[in-house]
Amino acid sequence: MKKMSMKLNRELPLPADLKGEYPLSASLRERKAQRDREIRAVFTGESDKFLVIVGPCSADQEDSVLEYVHRLARINERVGDRLLLIPRVYTNKPRTTGAGYKGMLHQPSPDKAPDLLGGIIAIRRLHIQVMEECGLTAADEMLYPENRSYLDDVLSYEAVGARSVENQQHRLTASGMDIPVGMKNPTSGDLSVMLNSIQAAQSGHTFIYRGNDATTTGNPLAHAILRGGVDKYGTCVPNYHYEDLRRLWELYEERELQNPAVIVDANHSNSNKQYKEQIRIVSEVLHSRQYNPALKKLIKGVMVESYLEEGTQPIEAERTFGKSITDPCLGWQDTERLLLSMAERV
């Protein structure tokens, strides 16, 4: 008899059981509710604060991520009246070819074998520690729709990546969220695909979710993330320029979508992964926003990849503390200067 090509290693705990083992205190629940209200107000137009979703490409080590967010919290005390800082604590990482580090969910220790049970515990603990120690609630990527149930009570922002945005389960799950969800344009750069995804996420659906017959009412805070694209020759094509933002505004106007909004991802195909370019790209986006009142209304924030040390490094036993093991990131000094400069310009 032919053996199956899939081996079931172990049954993982239900989200409710994990939440019971690692619960949120009443004070943390209130803190999250407050942060959610502040972030929601930006997307509905009630607040004119500028969102900055900033942090490592991947949350690879608990201690370095916490050190980074502690520094971010201190900056937040200085700029919180103008900027709304959301730390990137990305614990799930898509891989284009399937190879490479897939995030803390898969590997709590990047140089050790996958451990999904240890991973789901580690990512929940990390998000709770960020809230407890720094007072900030974070963003993560929804790589696996059914896994978000382990974190749905701790996250204030979620992103659907370029490789997932056409997936039906991602769209339907996003329609049941009560926090903002950013839908990235696909790697092809096709804006219509992204807008179709936003439309699906803003609509109600009935579908199968974690073995249940589930119904959603739609998420009015689903919105666009522009991250650039790649043409058929493999060349990066940015989409953060003034003309691109104007075109997105026009496309939004053609559809009856709620709360038109965009977050500009300053890295990935917009920077051709030249991480220092993020500084210039953010500056250009702010200029477009200042120049055109319609774009000031549309552009709600930026996404920046940043860590304690700039650049990237291979996964080895001896690694530089706070340096990315996935995409290259801005270092802290550049990040601090960028955030303070942004606060002066918004």
Name the average pLDDT for the chain: 95
Q: Where are the alpha helices (DSSP H) in the chain?
A: 15-21, 26-44, 62-79, 116-134, 168-174, 191-201, 242-254, 277-291, 293-298, 332-345
pLDDT band at 1 (very low <50, low <70, confident <90, very high): low
Distance CA 88, CA 156 (A): 11
How would residue 317 be classed by pLDDT, with cut points 50, 70 and 90?
A: confident
Residue identified by tokens 């038109």 is 260
**pLDDT number for residue 95:** 76
Which tokens belong to 287? Answer: 């200029």
Distance CA 319, CA 101 (A): 15
The yes-or-no verdict on residue 116 having pLDDT over 80 is yes
- List Cα–Cα distances, 270 to 240, 282, 304, in angstroms: 7, 11, 11
* Residue 53 · residue 339 · CB < 8 Å: no
CA neighbor of 85 nearest in space, from 344, 323, 345, 342: 342
Q: Whose CA is closest to 187, among 256, 130, 251, 237?
A: 237
Report which of residues 2 and 55 the model is more confident about. 55
Mean pLDDT on 24-44: 98
Q: Residues of 302-335 as b/e, b for ≥16 C-beta within 10 angstroms?
A: bbbbbbbbbebeeeeeebeebbbbbbbbbbbebb
- For the cut 80, the answer to whether the pLDDT of residue 2 exceeds it is no
Q: Is 120 helix (H, G, I), strand (E, B) or coil?
A: helix
Share of the chain above pLDDT 70, in %: 99
- Rounded Cα–Cα distance for residues 263 and 223 (Å): 8
pLDDT in tens, 190-224: 999 999 999 999 999 999 999 999 999 999 999 99
Instruction: State the Cα–Cα distance between residues 40 and 32, nearest whole angstrom.
Output: 12
What pLDDT score was predicted for residue 87? 98
- Tell me which architecture the domain covering 39-345 has in CATH: Alpha-Beta Barrel (3.20)
Which neighbouring-strand residues pair with 139? 88, 157
The amino acid at 31: R
| pLDDT surpassing 70 at residue 3 | no
Average pLDDT over residues 133-153: 95
Confidence of residue 316 (pLDDT cuts 50, 70, 90): confident
In single-letter form, the type of residue at position 313 comes to: Q
Give the pLDDT confidence of 59-112 residue by residue, as tens digits: 999 999 999 999 999 999 999 999 999 999 999 888 777 778 889 999 999 988
Tokens at 288, concatenated: 């477009």
For residue 100, the model assigns a pLDDT of 80
φ and ψ at 150, to 5 degrees? Answer: -75, -15
Segment 122-146 mean pLDDT: 97
CA distance readout (Å), 106 to 101, 111, 119, 277, 287: 8, 11, 6, 30, 40
pLDDT of 275 > 70? The answer is: yes
